[in-house]
Amino acid sequence: MGQVFDLAIIGGGVNGCGIARDAVGRGNSVFLCEMNDLASGTSSWSTKLVHGGLRYLEYYEFRLVRHALMEREILWQIAPHIIRPLRFVLPHHSGLRPAWFLRLGLFLYDHIGGRKLLPPTRTLDLAHDEFGKPLASGRFRRGFEYSDCFVDDARLVVLTARDAADRGADIRTRTKATEIRQVDGIWQVTVEDTASGERSTIRARALVNAGGPWVENILASGAGVNAKAKVRLVQGSHIVVPKLYAHDRAYIFQNADNRIVFAIPYQDDFTLIGTTDIDYHGDPAKVKISAEEISYLCTSVSEYLAQPVKPEDVVWTYSGVRPLYDDGASEAKAATRDYVFELDLPSGAPLLSIYGGKITTHRRLAEEALQKLAPWLTGTKAPEGWTATAPLPGGDFDVSAVDALIAELRRDYSFLTPAHANRLVHAYGTRAQKLLGQAGSMADLGQDFGATLTEAEIRYLIDNEWALTADDIVWRRSKLGLRLSAAEIAVLDAWLAVRGDAPGPALRAARVQT
């Protein structure tokens, strides 16, 4: 009946891909199936912060904050192309938390996570500082500035999967696990190709359920599985508006409801605003922002800014569902953001289900998951902790060398505009050269799809990053959807559809029907 994998993983979000990478690097044989595109679940709908989570200190989540803070610089160093440091401005609001309380929180934030590369907190005189200028005049005199990092979340997932595949993992996208069962102490996972409907069975000695918001659906597809933990689905939405101010800092605004809302410089010309916290009971794939959430986010930031943000300013929105461990907290905002494992041994072979977690802590989560599964795994090629120093694809350069890499790319490919070179380096790092090959002009990169998206890049994404549809390319492998018109995206869809080896969604749907 073919190969028995050491480990099978269901779910191609940040957690599933992180576990696949770590496990295969240690010398285990690994299979991962993702029912849609990589990062098509929660992992592309986050606020995109690699952060300790300042506000979790108020919930006494010291373990989570400490671990997350420690991960910031580790992740930045292994992926300096897709992760960058970001300074946050926290204005003191006279009606909310007192200044001494903010200062204490930031003191802890600076010191409990072993910060070495990121600059520390400083106090700001917002009445005179340029970072006070976008704020409502005369209302905010004092503030603080502290460090965290910003990440392209979807690319983090794809590059983690790419690295796992380069090391030998079998990564299958558009492949849904429909049934799990144990036969003679071996897991049998029935998987379905979502395009053709074709089914097959793979076998593994250990199984990880990294289904995120679908974690319980996967458990329901298994006979004899007895996981008791519960998932709490909490919706979070973001809005994107044209750039609100010229400087490069993000703001963290406190709300009267005790929540915080971020305003973050985004994709050069935009500002990203989020997020919300609302219990969700529907299909995770159908989560959508409501008019109330848009209004809430606009009102929250307008409380601080000189120029109010209005719902009609919004150019894009996105929503995701946090698959939190249900710890019985009464309010969604208070439910723990830490991860919890549930290990089930129906007939001897382990099933590890994951609840909660953060983009920031996925690498550490993977290490702990493999500790739990250690008695059943054989790989001894690399020691625990190897993922902390091995760069992700394209990230094999120093964090201080991004600008030099951009300059080098422009020297080697003088036809690239500064913005194009900047985008390619921040997406592909040192692999940008592989994408551009021998090109000596824009024309050599093939068809131009607009907003610097070329046929060469699309072919690279299809060949190296599992891209199949226009959505994969313009919303997950890049955010060029913000710049391309609907007509331009339709041209891309049509181009993908006529390519026999990479059919677009319309053609794939037609094939399934016949």
Ligand X SMILES: Cc1cc2nc3c(=O)[nH]c(=O)nc-3n(C[C@H](O)[C@H](O)[C@H](O)COP(=O)(O)OP(=O)(O)OC[C@H]3O[C@@H](n4cnc5c(N)ncnc54)[C@H](O)[C@@H]3O)c2cc1C
In the complex, the residues that contact ligand X under the rule CB under 6 A are 10-16, 33-36, 40-43, 45-49, 176-177, 210-214, 218, 236, 275, 320-323, 354, 357-360
Q: How far is the CB of 279 from ligand X (least distance, A)?
A: 13
Q: Least separation, in Å, of the C-beta of 183 and ligand X?
A: 19
**Smallest distance, ligand X to C-beta of residue 191, A:** 7
Q: How far is the CB of 385 from ligand X (least distance, A)?
A: 20
Min. distance of Cβ 85 from ligand X in angstroms?
A: 15
Q: Which residues contact 489 (CB under 8 A, 6 or more apart)?
A: 470, 474, 481
The residue among 218 and 227 lying less far from ligand X, judged by its C-beta, is 218
For 374-454, where are the alpha helices, taking DSSP H only?
402-412, 418-428, 432-436
Residue with Cβ nearer ligand X (34 or 472): 34
Question: Which is nearer to ligand X, 30 or 321 (by Cβ)?
Answer: 321
Own/partner pairs for 295-298, CB < 8 Å, 24+ apart? Answer: 297/237, 297/238, 297/239, 297/261, 297/273, 298/239, 298/273
Least separation in angstroms between CB 66 and ligand X:
14
- Report the residue number, 83 or 177, with the smaller CB distance to ligand X: 177
Q: Could you tell me the smallest distance in angstroms from the CB atom of residue 236 to ligand X?
A: 2
d(CA 166, CA 466): 13
Query: Alpha carbon of 287 to those of 38, 53, 211, 220, 320: distances in Å?
Result: 18, 24, 16, 21, 6
Return the C-alpha torsion angle 483, 487, 488, 490, nearest 10. Answer: 120
Closer Cβ to ligand X, 354 or 406, answer by number: 354
Give the shortest CB-230-to-ligand X separation in angstroms: 15
Q: Which residue has the tokens 């890499």?
A: 405
Longest dimension (CA), the chain: 73
Decide whether 457 or 465 has the Cβ nearer to ligand X: 465
- Between helix 455-465 and helix 486-498 the angle, nearest 10°, is 60
Q: For ligand X, which residue has the nearest CB?
A: 13
Min dist. Cβ of residue 139 to ligand X (A): 27
Task: Identify whether the C-beta of residue 159 lies closer than 8 Å to the C-beta of residue 477.
Answer: no
Q: Which residue has the tokens 């993977």?
A: 366
> Closer CB to ligand X, residue 12 or residue 80?
12
Please, which residue, 46 or 254, has the CB nearer to ligand X?
46
Query: Between residues 176 and 364, which has the closer beta carbon with respect to ligand X?
Result: 176
Neighbours of 226 (CB within 10 A): 11
Q: What is the helix (H) or strand (E) element at residue 455, kind and residue range?
A: helix 455-465
CB of 390 to ligand X, least distance (A): 20
**Shortest approach of ligand X to residue 237 CB, angstroms?**
7
CB contact at 8 A, 477 and 467: yes
Round to whole Å and give the CA distance between 76 and 429. Answer: 13
Report the C-alpha gap between 367 and 23 in whole angstroms.
Answer: 9
- By beta-carbon proximity to ligand X, the closer residue of 73 and 457 is 73
First to last CA, the chain: 30
Q: Which long-range contacts (CB under 8 A, 24 or more apart) does 54-59 make?
A: 54/90, 54/105, 54/106, 54/109, 54/146, 54/252, 54/260, 55/259, 55/260, 56/337, 57/105, 57/108, 57/109, 58/105, 59/334, 59/336
Tell me how far, at minimum, the Cβ of 148 lies from ligand X, in Å: 9
For ligand X, the closer of residues 132 and 356 by Cβ is 356
Query: If you write DSSP's letter for every residue of 116-152 in order, what string do you get?
Result: -SS---EEEETTTSGGGTTBPTTT--EEEEEEEEEE-
Q: What are phi and psi of 85, to 5 degrees?
A: -70, 150
Which residue type does 286 have?
Answer: K
CB nearer to ligand X: pick between 222 and 503: 222
